[in-house]
Amino acid sequence: MDNANNTQAPEAQRQAHLLAALRPMAATLPESGIMAVVNYGSEKAGVMPFWAGEGDAPTPVFIAEAAIEALRQGHTFYPHLCGIPQLRQAVAAYVRRHFLANVAPERVIITGSGMQAIMQTVQALVGPGDEVVVVSPVWPNIFAAIHMQEAEARPVPLQCAQNAWRLDLDRLFDACGPKTRALFLNTPGNPTGWIMEPEDMLRVRDFARARGLWLIVDEVYGQFVYDRPRVTSFLEVMEPDEQLIVVNTFSKNWSMTGWRVGWVVIPHSRVLGQVYENLALYNTSGVPAFLQYGCVAALTDGDAYLKSLVEQCRQGRALACERLATVPRVRLVWPQGAFYLFFQVEGESDSLVLAKRLVDEAQVGLAPGSAFGAGGEGFLRLCFAASPATLRTGVERLVAALA
């Protein structure tokens, strides 16, 4: 036993020494609460994974074939750093088609995923000592991106009241201090499904204008809305040269999570365009061109698929909400947008512990609410984008486990 302890001690010391030799910013990055459950449950047989933001359908064949054909044609060289012209034009046309905004193609920057779109934006705008005010609960990666710039995220929690998620704009504005550089908004929101109303967008716009703040807006779930014809984009309420960055991705609309391709719409500025080109060069040197041709197909020929996916999620929302609402301990609000149900279970105060227990007892993987920042603890997030049969099986397991 003594020999074993003596062997373990030097190893522990070596690991501590390596950790201490890292930058504190990197060494102190926390493990994602979502990944904590994924790592706990992904190797367990029979676990149904509703913890991530994706369904169970592969990318449509017409999109995959476009990428395969581009690969065959030899589109394997270094790509345009801001994206191939055809894709930038297709994104601009998509925005014009679905929103009341006329976006020039040169304002579109193609990125290696929506996450990289956020990361490059934070790199461009935020530095040590700066603050970013973040509406929370929210996808946790934004907090990490801010932390990696040695800046501080200041969360402003949504309030769940009167069967809806609401944002107190006065509280949001009061959170902005002299070090605030930007506001980060996600609408429709992950994990709550909250949608910012147009009149509130105008108030936020006017406040940001008066204070000289940047707005970083994640509109990834802009097509996933259920109780209204569409949502308003911030691109519709702000001028082309204002301090607005809108983040998006191909992942959700066309079942392309594994492709890792996204985009940003930046202000109309040659200087800022050069900044994003530089960031692309030094981060990844661009997105593989053959993947981008698949993305062109998604944008130009994928509206019908997108419509069917939104309808599937509408039905999934009803299934998840109606069945879980029958469990006496469950408290939930029907989400207005996105494809997540964010619900509470009475008597459970540690969402990570509960999520792991449900992996073991129900063989269902959910994301713990604590992962999503202020206002998230006590909740669980379920992605209802899966096929009806898969979702039904998983929800029935949850109902049995939580009853």
Give the C-alpha distances (Å, rounded to integers) separating 163 from 331, 335, 340. 10, 10, 16
Dig out the tokens for 79 from the structure. Answer: 């790509």
Give the C-alpha distances (Å, rounded to integers) separating 192 from 135, 195, 324. 11, 9, 16
Q: Which domains does the chain have, with CATH numbers?
A: 31-58+305-402 (3.90.1150.10), 61-301 (3.40.640.10)
Annotate 124-142 with DSSP letters as a single string.
Answer: HH--TT-EEEEEES--THH
Tell me the whole-structure pTM to 2 decimals: 0.95
Using CA of residue 320, residue 325, residue 331, residue 337, what is the dihedral sign?
positive
Strand 108-111 versus strand 262-265 pairing type:
antiparallel
What is the per-residue pLDDT for 7?
56
The β-bridge partners of 154 are 133
Q: What share of the chain is helix, strand, coil (3-state, %, to 5)?
A: 45, 15, 35
Residues 219, 316: Cα–Cα separation, whole Å: 21
Annotate 48-91 with DSSP letters as a single string.
Answer: EE-SSS--SPPPPHHHHHHHHHHHHTT--SPPPTT--HHHHHHH
What is the per-residue pLDDT for 8?
60
The β-bridge partners of 109 are 264
What is the per-residue pLDDT for 246?
98
Q: How many CA atoms lie within 13 A of 161 on its CB side?
A: 6
Collapse the DSSP code of 164 into the 3-class scheme (helix H, G, I; strand E, B; otherwise coil) and give the result: strand
Strand 108-111 versus strand 340-345 pairing type:
unpaired
What is the per-residue pLDDT for 30?
86
Residues 393, 402: Cα–Cα separation, whole Å: 14
Given a contact cutoff of 8 angstroms between Cβ atoms, the answer to whether 154 and 126 are in contact is no
Dig out the tokens for 165 from the structure. Answer: 């998620």
Residues 271, 290: Cα–Cα separation, whole Å: 28
The neighbour count for residue 11, using CB atoms within 10 Å, is 9
Q: pLDDT (tens digit, 0 to 9) for every residue of the chain, 403 residues total? A: 455 555 567 888 888 888 899 988 888 888 999 999 999 999 999 999 999 999 999 999 999 999 999 999 999 999 999 999 999 999 999 999 999 999 999 999 999 999 999 999 999 999 999 999 999 999 999 999 999 999 999 999 999 988 899 999 999 999 999 999 999 999 999 999 999 999 999 999 999 999 999 999 999 999 999 999 999 999 999 999 999 999 999 999 999 999 999 999 999 999 999 999 999 999 999 999 999 999 999 999 999 999 999 999 999 999 999 999 999 999 999 999 999 999 999 999 999 999 999 999 999 999 999 999 999 999 999 999 999 999 999 999 999 999 9
What is the per-residue pLDDT for 12?
85
